[in-house]
């Protein structure tokens, strides 16, 4: 099988098998729609609320992307500081680990109360807070593990610190960076939807999910979850495409 066809067909088959198993599970247990929705119940929910899915899906998407972009900028900058300075790495790592260990659901009401009524800002902020950590750590590790022999050789040839960064450090860090970015994509969606669900001024797919929960509309709730999964997969594969462009040289064919 052609590798490009395989790359498309295998995930598609996996999704079909998952949906078939989900449908079978609901059918064999005889669960009604007010207890558990089946995949066959979801098209009606999409048709009934298609305008809300388009509007709120876009609201969720742009906030997530903005939060993720801020996380990339800040996480990369912080990772560079820790990667090039052992003192800063020793000082900042405990703070980062401790902050990341705090359940982010507990941060949501704090942020919502601090910036009352600023829903867009709150949502982007939470997406940023949740997703910058893996980026900062990956960049830091990539830079701090750079072989000193490379630096010594380039310095002996008169290379500046900037040249060493662009020619050696940056390319070496890219595989770790994109690996962390794949994780950060899903984390950013989690942050966005936490705020959309909890905030009294929430908008977006999280608010639509909460509306379904309030009305015990299980088909709508599961339709929202599938829509979120779809958006997450799309962003994930965008990152994969960027990885192939900028760090494709690091990919190794499986044995």
Task: List pLDDT tens digits, range 20-36.
Answer: 999 999 999 998 888 88
* Residues 109, 25 share a domain: no
pLDDT of residue 252: 60
Q: In angstroms, rounded to a whole number, what is the distance separating the alpha carbons of residues 171 and 36?
A: 48
State how many domains the chain has. Answer: 2
150 within a domain of the structure (yes/no): yes
What are the tokens at 11? 């995930």
Asked if residue 241 and residue 146 are part of one domain, the reply reads: yes
Give whole-number Cα distances, 146 to 105, 169, 171, 183, 193, in Å. Answer: 36, 7, 11, 23, 37
Residue 185, sorted as left (phi over 0), alpha (psi -120 to 50) or beta, turns out to be alpha
* Domain match, 162 and 204 both: yes
In a domain? residue 240:
yes
Q: How far apart are CA 72 and CA 208, in angstroms?
A: 28
CATH number of the domain that 55 lies in? 1.10.3720.10
Instruction: For CA atoms 227, 232, 237, 239, give the dihedral sign.
Output: positive
Distance CA 228, CA 23 (A): 19
d(CA 41, CA 17): 17
pLDDT given for residue 253 in this prediction: 55
Same domain, 237 and 168: yes
Same domain, 97 and 151: yes
Q: Are residues 208 and 245 in the same domain?
A: yes
Has residue 71 been placed in a domain?
A: yes
- Per residue in 149-158, pLDDT (tens digit) is 777 777 777 7
76/157 same-domain check: yes
Point out the residues of the chain with pLDDT beneath 70: 1-2, 4, 161, 200-202, 250-255
Which pLDDT belongs to residue 103? 86
Q: What is the pLDDT of residue 188?
A: 94
pLDDT at 221: 94
Predicted local distance difference test score (pLDDT) of residue 4: 66
Going by C-alpha positions, the residue among 99, 69, 246, 117 that lies closest to residue 173 is 246
Residues 114 and 12 in one domain: no
């Amino acid at each position: 099988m052609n590798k490009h066809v395989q790359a498309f067909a295998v995930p598609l088959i996996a999704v079909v098998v998952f949906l078939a198993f989900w449908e079978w599970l609901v059918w064999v247990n005889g669960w009604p729609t007010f207890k558990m929705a089946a995949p066959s119940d979801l098209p009606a929910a999409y048709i009934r609320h298609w305008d809300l899915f388009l509007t709120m899906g876009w609201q969720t998407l742009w906030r997530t992307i903005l939060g993720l972009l801020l996380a990339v900028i800040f996480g990369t900058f912080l990772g560079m500081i820790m990667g090039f300075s052992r003192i800063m790495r020793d000082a900042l790592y405990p703070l980062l680990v401790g902050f990341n260990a705090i359940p982010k659901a507990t941060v949501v009401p704090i942020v919502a109360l601090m910036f009352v009524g600023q829903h867009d800002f709150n949502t982007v902020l939470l997406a940023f807070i949740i997703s910058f950590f893996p980026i900062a750590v990956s960049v830091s590790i990539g830079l701090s593990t750079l072989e000193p022999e490379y630096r010594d050789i380039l310095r002996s040839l008169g290379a500046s610190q900037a040249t060493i960064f662009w020619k050696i450090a940056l390319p070496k860090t890219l595989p770790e960076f994109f690996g962390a970015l794949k994780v950060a994509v899903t984390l950013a969606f989690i942050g966005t939807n936490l705020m959309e669900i909890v905030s009294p001024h929430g908008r977006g797919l999280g608010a639509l999910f909460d509306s379904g929960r309030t009305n015990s509309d299980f088909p709508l709730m599961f339709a929202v979850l599938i829509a979120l999964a779809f958006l997450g997969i799309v962003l994930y594969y965008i990152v994969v495409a960027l990885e192939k462009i900028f760090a494709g040289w690091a990919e190794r064919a499986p044995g």
